[in-house]
Structure 1
Amino acid sequence: MSLEDWLNKRWYPAAEGGIDSSMPLPLLAPLELAFRQGSRLRKLRNSPEPLPVPVIVVGNITVGGAGKTPLVAELGRWLQERGRKPGIISRGYGGRAKHYPYSVSAQSHPLESGDEPLMLHLMTGLPVMVSPKRAEAAEALIAEHGCDVIISDDGLQHYGLWRSMEICVVDGQRGLGNEHLLPRGPLRESPERLGSVDMVVVNGEPNALVESQCGDQADFVMELAPSLWHQFNLDQTSTLKLESGPEAGPCHAVAAIGNPQRFFNALRNLGYTVMEMPFPDHHQFTQHELQLDGETPVIMTMKDAVKCRDFWQSHWWAMEVQAQLPDIFYQRIHQHLESFQPA
C-alpha cells in the first residue's frame, strides 16, 4: 500500500472504506497545530492590492481533486460565450518554466506549464498564464490579452492574490474527510472557511456525511458529464475533438488525479469493463508504464493525456468532462460581474 492510499484510508474513512476513529492519527496532532498557526499567519501577512477587473477564485480546502478544474473550464466557456474576455491563472503545479509569468500555448510541455494549465488551454482555447505569484500572472493577462475577468484555478489559500469572489468546491462523496488539518487530515483550512466564501459547490450528489459537514452552506450541486473524446494528432501538439470514443467493452483506465475512483466509476457508468490503473496525482508518465497489450483501448483523463502526447498511440483516448450547474449559479456570477466596481 502506498503512503497516499494509507493516508486516504485515515483521512477519508467513510469514502475509502478505511479506519473510522474518533481520534485519527493522534501522534500528528502537534504538526496539525503548527500547520493551523502557519495558515493563520500567512493570511494575516498578506494585504494584496485590488486588481482593475473581477478575480474569481475556484478552489477547495482539501488536498487532492474535488472537481475545481472542470468548473474553471466551464466558467471560462460561459463567460466567453457572453462576450467577456476571460483569462485563467494557475500556479502551474508540476511545471518549471524558465521564466514567469509563463504564457501557455498548444506547444507547451507539461514539464514547463504544469498539466492542468495545459489541459485548460487545450480544452477552452482561452489564454492561460502561470506563475507561483498568481497576482503577477493576472496582471500579465490583463496587459497582454486585455482580459476583463480573471479565473484562478485553485488559490483559495494563496492570499497574495486579491479576489472579488471565492468559489469552494467540495467532493460529494469524500467531503471534508475526518475534518482535521494537514497532516492529520486532508484539510488545508478549517471547516469554518466554508462560511466565508461566496459560493460552495458540491461535486456530485452529496452523501449523508457531506450533507452533515456542509449543512446549509452548500449552495449548488455540480455534475460532471462526459462531453467529448480526444485523440492527439501525429504532430503531438493538437487534439482532435470527437463525439464518440471507443466501443463499450474492456479498457485500461489510467488516472493520476486526486480521486481516481470518480473517473473509473464514470467509465463503468458508460458501459466499460474497467481495468484500473491509478497513479499518484500529477504523476509524470513514461512510455514504458503504458506499454500494455497494444490493442485494448486505453482511456485516460485529459489531465493525464497532455503528459502522454510525446508517445501517443492510436488506441488511446482521453475523455473530457463538462461541469453542469443550475441556472441560478450563472445568475450569481452575472450579478457579481454587473455589480463589480474597480477600486
Structure 2
Amino acid sequence: MSLESWINRQWYESKSGVRWMTPLAALYRKVVNKKRAQYLENPPLPLRVPVVVVGNLTAGGAGKTPLVAEITRQLQARGHRPAIISRGYGGKAPSYPYAVTEQSHPLESGDEPLLLRVVTSAPVYVDPERARAAEAAIAHSQCDVLVADDGLQHYGLWRSVEVCVVDGSRGFGNGKLIPQGPLREPLERLDSVDFIVVNGAPEASVAAQLSGRETHEMHVAPARWHQFRLDRESDIEIEEGPRPGRCHVVAGIANPGRVFRTVEQMGFEVIPHPFDDHHEFTANDLKFGDDYPVIMTMKDAVKCRAFWQPHWWALEIKAELPDALLEELMAAIGITKESDEQ
C-alpha cells in the first residue's frame, strides 16, 4: 500500500484519523485561521475583470476540473472570453507566468491545466502566485472573466465569487483538519462561500456534514473519446469508441473508484488500475500483457501522448449543471441575459 493510499484510508475510513496527529491538526487550524483573518482584514485589490474561484475544502480531488471546464464553456457560449488560471500542480515551468498551449508538456504546465486547455481551448495561465497568473491572463489574452482552478485557499488572489465543490460520495471524510483528516480549512468555511456544488447525489453521511446548507447538484457524464497521435489528437463520439467488453481502466486521480464506476456503467467489464493522484506515467505502467482496450481519464492521457498506443482511449467527462446554478452564478459576476444580448 502506498503512503497516499494509507493516508486516504485514515482520512475517509477512520472516524478519528491517527490520534497522535491531533496536536498537528490543532497547529494547522491556527495557521489557516490566521491566514483567513489576515485576508479579511486586508484583502487584495480587485482586478479589472470578475474572478470565479472554484475550489474545495479537502486535499485531493472533488470534481473541480470538470466544473471549471463547464463554467468556462458556459461563459464562451454566452459570448464572453474567459481565461483559466491555475497553480499548475505537478509542473515546473521554465518561467512564470506560463501560458499553456495544447503542445505544452505536463511536466511544465501540470496535468490539469493542460487538460483544461485541450477540452476548452480557452487561454490557460499557470503560476504558483495566482494573482500573477491573473495579471498575465488579463494583459495577454483579452479575457473579460477569469476562472481560477483550485484557488479557494489562495488568499493572495482577489475573487468575485467562490464556488466550493464537494464529493457526494466521500464528502469531508472524518471531518478533521490536515494531517489528521482531509480538510484544508474548517467546515464552517462553507458558510462564507457563494455556492456549494455537490458532485453527485450526496450520501447520507455527506448530507449530514453539509448540515442543511443550500447546495446545487452536479453530475458528470461521458462526453467523448480522445485518441492522441503525438501533437495531434482526435475527438470521437461515444458511440464510435471501443465496444463494451473487458478492458483495463487506469486512474491516477484522488478518487479512482468514481472512474471505475463510470466505465462500468457504460457496459464495460473493468480491470481496475488505481494510481496515486498526479502519477507521472511511463509506458511500462500501461503494459498489461494483452490486447484489451486501455481506458484512462483525460488528466492521465495528456501525460501519455508521447508513447500513445492505438488501443488506448481517453474518456472525457462533462459536468452537467442545473440551470438555476448557472443563472445565479452568472448574475453574481454581473452577467445577465440582458448583458449577453448587448
Q: Residue 184 of structure 2 corresponds to which residue in structure 1?
A: 188
After TM superposition, list the pairs within 5 Å mapping 1:110-189 onto structure 2. 110-189=106-185
One-letter amino acid of the structure 1 residue matched with residue 185 of structure 2:
E
Match of 2:25 among 29, 32, 36: 32
Do structure 1's residue 240 and structure 2's residue 264 form an aligned pair? Answer: no
Contact 2:167 2:200 in 1 (8 A): yes
After TM superposition, list the pairs within 5 Å mapping 1:218-257 onto structure 2. 218-233=214-229, 236-244=230-238, 245-257=241-253
Which whole-Å CA distance do the structure 1 matches of 2:109 and 2:204 have between them?
38
Contact 1:104 1:118 in 2 (8 A): yes
Length, aligned pairs only: 331
Which whole-Å CA distance do the structure 2 matches of 1:272 and 1:34 have between them?
46
> What is the deviation of 1:237?
1.7
> What is the deviation of 1:339?
7.0
Which whole-Å CA distance do the structure 2 matches of 1:74 and 1:43 have between them?
28
Encode CA deviations 1:71-120: one digit per residue, 9 max, x unaligned. 00000001001010000000000000011000000110000000000000
- Percent identity between matched residues is 54
Encode CA deviations 1:12-53: one digit per residue, 9 max, x unaligned. 12xxxxx4x4x4321001100111111122233443111011
Which whole-Å CA distance do the structure 2 matches of 1:184 and 1:199 have between them?
26
**Residues 218, 172 of structure 1: alpha-carbon distance in 2 compared, 3 angstrom cutoff:** farther
Contact 2:161 2:333 in 1 (8 A): no
> What is the deviation of 1:65?
1.0
- Gap runs ≥5 in structure 1: 14-18
Which whole-Å CA distance do the structure 1 matches of 2:93 and 2:6 have between them?
33
Contact 1:88 1:126 in 2 (8 A): yes
**Partner SS state of residue 50, structure 1:** coil
**Partner SS state of residue 135, structure 1:** helix
Which whole-Å CA distance do the structure 2 matches of 1:44 and 1:221 have between them?
30
- Of stretches 286-295 and 183-192 in structure 1, the one that deviates more from structure 2 is 286-295
One-letter amino acid of the structure 2 residue matched with residue 4 of structure 1:
E
Which whole-Å CA distance do the structure 2 matches of 1:2 and 1:231 have between them?
30
Q: CA RMSD in A?
A: 1.3
**Partner SS state of residue 251, structure 1:** strand
Q: Residue 260 of structure 1 corresponds to which residue in structure 2?
A: 256
Which whole-Å CA distance do the structure 1 matches of 2:296 and 2:216 have between them?
28
TM-score using structure 1 length: 0.94
> What is the deviation of 1:294?
4.9
- Of stretches 284-293 and 254-263 in structure 1, the one that deviates more from structure 2 is 284-293
Contact 1:70 1:323 in 2 (8 A): yes
After TM superposition, list the pairs within 5 Å mapping 1:1-343 onto structure 2. 1-13=1-13, 19=14, 21=15, 23-46=16-39, 47-233=43-229, 236-244=230-238, 245-338=241-334
Contact 1:80 1:86 in 2 (8 A): yes
One-letter amino acid of the structure 2 residue matched with residue 240 of structure 1:
S
**Partner SS state of residue 212, structure 2:** helix
Runs of at least 4 residues off by over 6 Å: none
TM-score using structure 2 length: 0.94
Which whole-Å CA distance do the structure 1 matches of 2:125 and 2:17 have between them?
39
Which whole-Å CA distance do the structure 1 matches of 2:285 and 2:205 have between them?
37
Contact 2:56 2:150 in 1 (8 A): yes
Which whole-Å CA distance do the structure 2 matches of 1:108 and 1:157 have between them?
26
Which whole-Å CA distance do the structure 1 matches of 2:242 and 2:138 have between them?
41
Q: Residue 340 of structure 2 corresponds to which residue in structure 1?
A: none
> What is the deviation of 1:293?
2.5
Contact 1:106 1:238 in 2 (8 A): no
Contact 1:202 1:218 in 2 (8 A): no
**Partner SS state of residue 180, structure 1:** coil
Which whole-Å CA distance do the structure 1 matches of 2:267 and 2:68 have between them?
28
